Structure 1
Amino acid sequence: MTILPAPDTLACQPNLHVELALLLALATLWGASYSFIRIGVETIPPLTFIAGRTLIAGAILLAVIRWRGLSLPRDPALWRRFLVQACLNSVLPFTLIAWAEQTVDAGTAVILNATTPIFAFLLTLLFTRHEPLSIRKAVGVLAGLGGTVLIIGVGAVDGIGSDLLAQGAIVLATLCYAGAAIFGRVFKGQDPVMPAAGALLCGAALLLPVSLAVDRPWTLAPSWDSLLALVALSVFSTALAFVLYFRLVQTLGSVPTTAQAYLRVPIGVGIGALLLGEALEPNMLAGCAAVVIGVAAMSIPARRRG
């Protein structure tokens, strides 16, 4: 957590290389979350699993805040914003994806979730217009999505439509993520750990009572694999990832930050090739190139003419 600078340094022009490295780190952390969720929901109901995720991650960030000698804000208006952010970025999408991953295969889930930049681009274009949009960004959005389909395999698209309810849940979660990236700009100027902790704690406060009433967690018998997946998901793919996320929304902007949805795919392919010896097909290499071009077009600002 200490790698993140204080808010006053964020006011300076961000180092683009650092921001892109953090974007890559965020994509890696959230890319791993699919596997953690898949393992976790095998023996823990989705609602309880996500309630535990938000509670553990929120508690970790609260401890970090206290360790740094800081305290959570007390402004009621700010906590209302935390609550909105929690609904958009954790309560609804986390629960929807965890429920859907019980039946939806990984390839289809990744493709559907990779539409986040498209929704962010359209919402910004049609409603908020809070950051400049260009043809270059639009091309980047489409190139990234096309690259994702190539990497996973065109055959994965055939699975779209086979389980409309679960796949619709993933699309709705994706729309929530896009809205969260846009709404997150209201926390500009704050230490990124504050909205991250506030949103997660609000999410836990909403989910825990429902989990207790519906799943009765004390009656469950989760496996050690599911418990370890929950801990890894909470510490790395939630607590640390949320701090990076709010930092990037402030420095790169809403649409570029959603570009990490595309980066997750080549990262997963690369991990499989290095650790599992999986072959890299020509379509995968072409897809990785398209993703890199798309993310660059969305994230790297155009040079200003003299």
Structure 2
Amino acid sequence: MPDAPQITKSSWLMILLLAFIWGGTFLVTEIALTEMPPFWIAATRVGFAATVMIVIWGLRGFRLFTQSPTRGDIAAVIFIGAASSAVPFSLLAWGQQYVTSGFAGVTMAATALIILPLAHFFVPGEAMSPRKVIGFALGFVGVVILIGAQAFESTGTALETQGRLACLGAAGCYATSSIIMRRLPAVDAIGLATILLIIATCITAPMAIIIEGLPPRPSPSIFAALAFLGLIPTAAA
């Protein structure tokens, strides 16, 4: 049995930093949408993160799989690259044109509730239990209370329903990719994160060009917002 992880002050500091970065995502996305189209926001996020991660991965020797991957493993990595970054980032950026940032935040909190039944059926040793269900439910209720009931208020926009469905779709993508990632063979975490971001960039950049054309030149404040958004996948890695 592996030793229990040692939780130090640095551990709590990293958790707080990650919470701050993730929590600011939805507000900063709304700011970025004032000048940038949604699909270019998604492409910029993963492109910035991929660039940073390539440098870090190179310093670690470009390690990835500890054994030769099968075709199924390679296909799974490509799918995870799309489902963990490219598709959900695009859906969130598009959906937040029509929903509140609070609703998007609550939707992302529901990701754990989607993972729970998926893990029960597809991940050995992750069967649902009353304790897990209660824990996830209490956590979700806590997020709703912290964000406030205004997260569910209508914005009155014509595509609000589609925007909400896009946010829910993003949560489903995160949950599905998380389950498939758990089924991969032994792999270097930094290497995997980098490959996934490269795949996501190769998907989102052409898609943004096809749908929205060349990107507008962002102002310094919007450039800073885009850089902040690029920190999220980097910090998660």
TM-score by length of 2: 0.84
Identity %: 25
- Structure 1 residues 71, 120: closer, same or farther in 2, change over 3 A? closer
After TM superposition, where is structure 1 displaced by more than 6 Å over at least 4 residues in a row? Answer: none
- Supply the RMSD in Å over aligned alpha carbons: 2.7
Which aligned pairs between 1:18-57 and structure 2 lie closer than 5 A? 21=12, 23-57=15-49
Tell me, yes or no, if the aligned pair for 2:92 and 2:166 is still in contact at 8 Å: yes
TM-superposed deviation, 1:158: 4.0
Task: Give the AA of the match of 1:17.
Answer: I
Shift of 1:130: 4.5
How do residues 197-212 of structure 1 correspond to structure 2 at under 5 angstroms?
197-212=194-209
Cα distance change on mapping 1:124 and 1:71 into 2, 3 Å: closer
- How far apart are the structure 2 equivalents of 1:120 and 1:217? 36
Per-residue CA deviation, residues 174-200 of structure 1 (Å, 9 max, x unaligned), is 111111221121346322101100111
Distance 1:26 1:87 in 2: 22
1:91 is displaced (CA, Å) by 1.1
Q: Where do 1:151-230 residues align within 5 Å?
A: 151-159=146-154, 163-187=160-184, 189-217=186-214, 220-230=216-226
Aligned counterpart, 1:13: 3
The answer to whether structure 1 residue 144 and structure 2 residue 139 are counterparts is: yes
- Residues 237/205 of structure 1: CA separation in 2 closer, same or farther (3 Å cut): same
Deviation at 1:161, TM superposition (A): 9.7
For structure 2, list consecutive stretches of 5 or more residues without a partner in the other structure: none
- The normalised TM-score by structure 1 is 0.67
In the alignment, which residue of structure 2 is the partner of 1:298?
none
- What corresponds to 1:116 in structure 2? 111
- Displacement of 1:55 in angstroms is 1.5
User: Does the 8 Å contact 2:92/2:167 carry over to 1?
Assistant: yes
- Alignment length (residue pairs): 230
Structure 1 residues 198 and 140: alpha-carbon distance in aligned structure 2, compared to 1, 3 A threshold: same
TM superposition shift of 1:160: 9.1
Using a 3 Å threshold, how does the CA distance of structure 1 residues 191 and 25 change in structure 2: closer, same or farther?
A: farther
1:237 matched to 2:232? The reply is yes
The answer (yes or no) to whether the contact 1:108–1:160 under 8 Å persists in 2 is no
CA distance in 2, matches of 1:83, 1:227: 29
Q: C-alpha offsets along residues 94-142 of structure 1, whole Å, 9 cap, x if unaligned?
A: 1000111112112222222211111111222344454243211100111
